[in-house]
A = this chain, B = another copy of it.
Amino acid sequence: MTKHSNDLDTLFSALSDPTRRAILTRLARGPATLSDLHTPHDMALPSLMAHVKKLETAGLISTEKQGRIRTCRLTPGAFTPVQSWLEEQRSLWTSRLDRFDAYVTQLAQPNQEQTDDPRSKD
């Protein structure tokens, strides 16, 4: 069993390395072979290969071998789960702010009934 069971685990983990992010940035401009990807990095080829494999496992890129050459390309829409998670967090955060705002507004108008501080809700 690998360490990361979850999609997001694997994605965020794959993105947490600068070499891998550089590879993605390169591939955003177009497909490339392993050697192409290797050239700018001061690192042995097997080490770079391991990064490429991690990106592929995370579903961020796909690779295809023709003859002795392996070509790598970005997977369209691979960032979607990441962006969705971020969006969900943002949504939770703003709805909290809304509730807090309503609470403060209510405090400022003591004529009306008050509910509990919404911040303490589970």
Q: Which positions in A face B, CB cutoff 8 Å?
A: 4, 6, 8-9, 11-13, 15-18, 21, 24-25, 28-31, 74, 76, 79, 82-83, 85-86, 89-90, 92-93, 96, 118-122
Contacts and interface: CB of A to CB of B under 8 A. Distances in A.
A18 B6 contact: yes
A15 to B, nearest CB: 4
A86 B92 contact: no
Given A12-B12, A92-B25, A120 B6 contact: no
A2 to B, nearest CB: 13
What number of copies of this chain does the assembly contain?
2
B25 A16 contact: no
Contacts of A15: 8, 12
